[in-house]
Amino acid sequence: MKQYIGDGMLLITAFVWGSGFVVTAIALEYLTAYQVMAGRFVLATLILMLLFGFKLKKFSKAVVWKGAILGTILYIGFALQTVGLEYTTPSKNAFLTAVNVVIVPLIALVIYKRKIDRFETIGSILALVGIGFLSLQGSMTINIGDALSLACAVAFAFDIFYTNRFVQKEDAIALTIMQFITASSISVLSVFIQGNIPTTLEQEAVYSIVYLAVFSTTIAYLFQNIAFRYTTATKGAIILSLESFFGMVLSVLILHEVLTGRMVTGAILIMMAILIAEIKPSFHRKAVVKKRGL
C-alpha cells in the first residue's frame, strides 16, 4: 500500500511540475522573469522555514557551503528556464528541460570519467534527434528560447548530480532550506540591481506566484522526498519524467498552444530517450538474472 501511495505522490508531483510551465507563462504576462523567480523563491523559503525551522540547528559549515552551491545552480537553472519561456512555448520548454535526465550521465563521464553504457548512449542520440525535431527551424537555426531551455537542462542536470552526492552526508531538508535561502537571496539581489521592483501586482500575477511557490516548489519537493522512501529510484524517475508530457497537454488545453507534427515527433523521441536512460537498471538486472539462470 505504501508503494502505491509513494507512486501516487510522485505522479502528483509530475503533474504539478508540468503545470508549472503553464503557470509561469501566465505570470510572465505581468512580471519579468526575475520578478517571478524572486517571488517564487522568497515565498517558498518562508514556507520551508515555517515548516522546518527546527532543522536550522543542523546547519553546519558543510550544509551551508553545499546548500549555497546547490542554490546557485538552482537559481541559474530557473533563470535560464524562465527567461527561455519568454521566447519559446511552454511545451517545448518542458520537453527541452526534461533532457537533463540524459545529461546527468554525461556529467559523470566528464567529471568522474565514469563510462556511459549503451542505454545511455542510445538515450543521448534519441534526445539529440528529438531536440532537432522540436527546436530546429527551417534555416537549421535554433530559437533563443529553445537554446536557453537546453542550457537550463544542463544546469538542472548539475543540480540533480550534486544533490545526489551531497545528501549522502548531509541532512536533506537542512540542505534544501539553505539551497532556497541562497536562490531567493540571489533572485532578490537581481531584481534590486535591475531596479525592477514592482509597485503594484495584478491578481493573476499574485495567484501565479503563490501557486509556483506553494505547489511547484514546497509541496512538490516535500512529496518527492517522502515518496522516495516507499518506491524505487528507477520507477520514481520514470514517473517524474511525465512532467514534460503534462506540460505539453496543459499548454494545449489551457493556453490553446498549437502543436505541429514535428513538435510531437520531437517530444516522443525525447520521452523515449528519458525512459531508456531511466529503465536501464532493470534491463541490467534482468540480464544478470538470465545469465545466472535464476
Range scoring the smallest mean pLDDT among 11-15, 118-122, 133-137, 263-267 = 133-137
Question: Does residue 48 form part of some domain?
Answer: yes
pLDDT at 235 over 80: no
Range scoring the smallest mean pLDDT among 42-46, 143-147, 283-287 = 283-287
Query: 160 or 190: which carries more pLDDT confidence?
Result: 190
Q: What is the mean pLDDT of residues 216-225?
A: 83
Query: 5 or 211: which carries more pLDDT confidence?
Result: 211
> What per-residue confidence (pLDDT) applies to 273?
78
Distance CA 216, CA 291 (A): 44
State the pLDDT confidence band at 19, using cuts at 50, 70 and 90. very high
> What per-residue confidence (pLDDT) applies to 129?
82
> Could you give the number of structural domains in the chain?
1
State the pLDDT confidence band at 212, using cuts at 50, 70 and 90. very high
pLDDT at 88 over 60: yes
Here the cell at position 156 is 538542472
State the pLDDT confidence band at 288, using cuts at 50, 70 and 90. very low
Q: What is the mean pLDDT of residues 23-36?
A: 92
- Residues in CB range of 210: below 8 A, 6 or more apart: 43
Mean residue pLDDT across the chain: 82
> What per-residue confidence (pLDDT) applies to 289?
45
pLDDT at 28 over 50: yes
Please check whether residue 230 is in contact with residue 2, taking contact to mean a CB–CB distance below 8 angstroms.
Answer: yes
Distance CA 236, CA 227 (A): 8
Question: Does residue 281 form part of some domain?
Answer: no
Question: Does residue 135 form part of some domain?
Answer: no
> What per-residue confidence (pLDDT) applies to 173?
85
Question: Does residue 269 form part of some domain?
Answer: no
Q: Is this structure's pTM higher than 0.85?
A: no
Question: Does residue 83 form part of some domain?
Answer: yes
Question: Does residue 65 form part of some domain?
Answer: yes
Helix 261-292 to helix 243-254 angle (10° resolution) is: 160
Question: Does residue 126 form part of some domain?
Answer: no
pLDDT tens digits for range 125-151: 787 788 777 766 665 567 899 899 989
Range of the domain at 45: 2-117+142-258
Amino acid at 208: S
